[in-house]
Amino acid sequence: MAGSTAETATIRTKGAMWRYCVQNIVAQMAYCPAVMASAYMIGRGMSSTLTGVAVALGNILALAIQPWIGSTADSKRGPTVAHMSILASIGCAVACLGALLPQPALVTLFVAVIFMLFQNLLSLINSVAVYYQNRGASINYGVARGLGSASFAGVSAVIGYAADAFGPTVYMLLGSALCLVTALAMLLLPTPKSVPELHEAAAEAPEADGGDEKSGNGSYLGFLKTHRRFMLLFFGLSLAVVVECAAGTYALPLVRSVGGGNTEMGLAMALQAIVEVPGMWSYDLLERRFKTSTLLSFAIAMYAVKGVLFFLSSNLAMVYVAYTFQLLSFAIATPAQISYVNKHFGAGDKNKAVGLLSLIFSVANVITGPVVGTAIDAWGAHVAMGIAAAIGIVGAITAFRGVEPDAASAATEGKAA
């Protein structure tokens, strides 16, 4: 059979890689117009401040429901990761259509819903990879996510032209259609809770690479109390990526400040996405030579450098160069975060940890929306990006203190390979 239902005790791990690739491809295609909901609002004549309110509200809601999602995913009962992904995709499709309404208040509300649902959808898709990897499937997360970046780049390259030609409604119409396709793609990899991890016979013992971390199915509050150093990493990363959120949410005013428009914004977003591909595809090779914790720390540092470059950009070419630093920051940090969780957390906490790290952008957007959006309206994009860069530097310093080193033996084996 091509798949299994939530009631069966087995899953099909053969062919899981190509199915996970499909999920990433269509999800990132949908994410492109969804994340450009802010450009849609600005294109309709709404202020950066109001756009920031929508982004911040959506991400506050995303953070509010994440504890339930993470705990439900780790529990033995309730909806599965796949089922929650499907519901989130359909809800996002409906919200995209709702954002077409003429009233600014309703537009703000529906754009907030889009951000709320999609931020959690991305964390659920990451959890699908962890689920199948821990049940014997051969899934290369970096390759799958890299294909997603390529599809994001393809949509970005054309959506700016389309918005110039047909108006900003293109963002929401395309987003709705692609979210429905994403819902269908999530059917390819069911995640029944009755299928144990390969090592679950030793459920009471800590994992080999995460002996210092407790493993269990406790509450979300218990997780936060137990993994305090991880929370330092979480909050530090959340500040470090503020620049990335600002460059995505306010790509249109940023590009306009150096003489560009919708078309140039689309090209900038496409460039940012396409450079992710070689970074993600080569991640496994990098991890054979370097510790996961080292790669994660390097990527965090590059977020800070990227922020400084955006602040120093005075023309379109320099803005494009700043966007290419996605190769050294996000493209390495994303697979490194998944690998880090797998090495440092037990079975009962992995979905919570993956969910939290997937929501660093939600926390960042809560800051980005009101702070950067208001700064753009008050002082312009240049000053706003300077403020974002300063926040990012503070975040990087904080995150460094939260990164725990990998086992020495793992590093030795990786260098020997």
What are the tens digits of pLDDT across the range 317-340? Answer: 999 999 999 999 999 998 899 889
Pull the structure tokens for residue 1.
Answer: 């059979």
Neighbours of 374 (CB within 10 A): 17
User: In 167-259, which residue ranges form alpha helices assigned H by DSSP?
Assistant: 169-185, 220-226, 228-240, 242-249, 251-256
Residue keyed to tokens 């900038």: 268
Q: Mean pLDDT across the stretch 31-39?
A: 85
Burial grade of 5 (CB within 10 A; 0-12, 13-18, 19 or more): exposed
Residue keyed to tokens 């400040």: 257
Which of 120, 126, 128, 148 minimizes the C-alpha distance to 16?
128
Q: Mean pLDDT across the stretch 13-29?
A: 94
Confirm whether 354 is domain-assigned: yes
Q: What are phi and psi of 254, to 5 degrees?
A: -65, -45
Confirm whether 148 is domain-assigned: yes
What are the tens digits of pLDDT across the range 60-76? Answer: 998 888 878 877 877 77
Confirm whether 112 is domain-assigned: yes
Confirm whether 6 is domain-assigned: no
What integer pLDDT is reported at residue 200 of this predicted model? 54
Task: Judge whether 296 and 400 are in contact, CB under 8 Å.
Answer: no
- CA 390 to CA 396: how far, in whole Å? 10
Q: What is the maximum alpha-carbon separation in the chain?
A: 61
Residue 299's pLDDT band, with cuts at 50, 70 and 90, is very high
CB proximity list for 63: less than 8 A, separation 6 or greater: 359, 362, 363, 366
- CA 187 to CA 169: how far, in whole Å? 29
Confirm whether 3 is domain-assigned: no
Confirm whether 4 is domain-assigned: no
Residue 315 has pLDDT above 90, yes or no: yes
Determine what percent of the chain falls in helix, strand and coil, rounding each to the nearest 5.
75, 0, 25
Residue 6's pLDDT band, with cuts at 50, 70 and 90, is very low
Distance, C-alpha 173 to centroid of its chain: 22
Q: Is 78 left (phi over 0), alpha (psi -120 to 50) or beta?
A: left
Q: In which domain, by residue range, is 365 found?
A: 16-196+205-412
Q: What are phi and psi of 258, to 5 degrees?
A: -115, 20
Residue keyed to tokens 């294109």: 43
Confirm whether 10 is domain-assigned: no
pTM for this structure? 0.73
- CA 236 to CA 33: how far, in whole Å? 28
What are the tens digits of pLDDT across the range 354-375? Answer: 777 877 888 898 888 889 989 9
Confirm whether 2 is domain-assigned: no
What are the tens digits of pLDDT across the range 206-264? Answer: 443 444 444 445 566 777 777 788 889 999 999 999 999 999 888 889 999 999 888 89
User: In 345-407, which residue ranges form alpha helices assigned H by DSSP?
Assistant: 350-358, 360-367, 373-379, 381-402
Q: Mean pLDDT across the stretch 389-415?
A: 76
- CA 72 to CA 181: how far, in whole Å? 24
Q: How many domains does the chain have?
A: 1
What integer pLDDT is reported at residue 409 of this predicted model? 38
CATH number of the domain that residue 307 is part of:
1.20.1250.20
User: C-alpha dihedral over 21, 27, 32, 33, to 10 degrees?
Assistant: 150
Residue 23 has pLDDT above 50, yes or no: yes
